[in-house]
Each structure stands twice: as C-alpha cells, then as structure tokens.
Amino acid sequence: MEDQAGREDRLEQRAREVFDASVESLDEDARLRLSQARFEAVAAAERSVLARWSVWAPLGAAAATVVVAVLLWRSPDQTSLPPATAGNGEAAAEAVELLADGEDLDIVENDLEFYQWLDATSLDASGSTG
C-alpha cells in the first residue's frame, strides 16, 4: 500500500516538474495570450451564471405572485363555521354541560363502549354514514 502511495507521489512530482518546465519554456507573448484567454473564460462563465439568474428570478417571482393571488382568491370565508359544528349546536351545548358538571366523568374514563358510541355519533352528526 505504501509502495503504491510512494509511486503516486513520485508521479505527481514528475508531472509537476514537466509542467513547470513547459511553462518556463514559453515566451512572454504566449504567456500573455494564455493569461488573457483565462481571464476571458472566467468572465464569460460569470456572465453565464448571472444571465441564468437574471432570466429565472423574475419568472419565479411572477409565478409566486400568481400562486399567492390564487390562494387568496380561492380561500374560504373566514366567518363560516366548519361543517361538523355548523348545525350541531345542541350536541355542543350538551358536551359543555357534561364537562361543567364533572360528576359523570369517572364513568366515561374507562368505558370503551362509550368511546365507540361517541365515535359513531360524531360521524353521524357530521353527515356521513357510520
């Protein structure tokens, strides 16, 4: 394992030496042209990234605005009651009286049949069959 790592280190060192030698052998004019080409490539890449954002950002903002407008337009009226409680005022009043009384709560705590009946009654009161 160390032998392979040593070979990779030697290969890396040799590649670096060859690269440095090739760069040093270039004349000043070639170095200048390569440097300018590198700067132009970097600038073009930056413009490309900015161009993508400048196109998609306004479109995304417009889409978000449309979604918010549709949600506000389609939202239900805030003053209406939920369907389960709209026509069931008597049952709600009885539940409040039962809680306020407090005497019969001991019987209800461990009565599974009562909870099943309550579940069936609440489904019937909401308009579904149960």
Q: Print the SS3 string covering 38-103.
A: HHHHHHHHHHHHHHHHHHHHHHHHHHHHHHHHHHHHHCCCCCCCCHHHHCCHHHHHHHHHHHHHCC
Distance CA(70)–CA(61), nearest Å, equals 14
Q: pLDDT of 60-90, one tens digit each?
A: 888 899 998 888 888 765 555 555 554 556 7
Residue 10 has pLDDT above 90, yes or no: yes
Please tell me the predicted confidence (pLDDT) of residue 13: 93
The domain ranges of the chain are 2-74, 83-125
The Cα–Cα gap between 82 and 92 comes to 13
Q: How confident is the model at residue 14 (pLDDT cuts 50, 70, 90)?
A: very high
Q: What is the pLDDT of residue 78?
A: 55
Please tell me the predicted confidence (pLDDT) of residue 15: 93
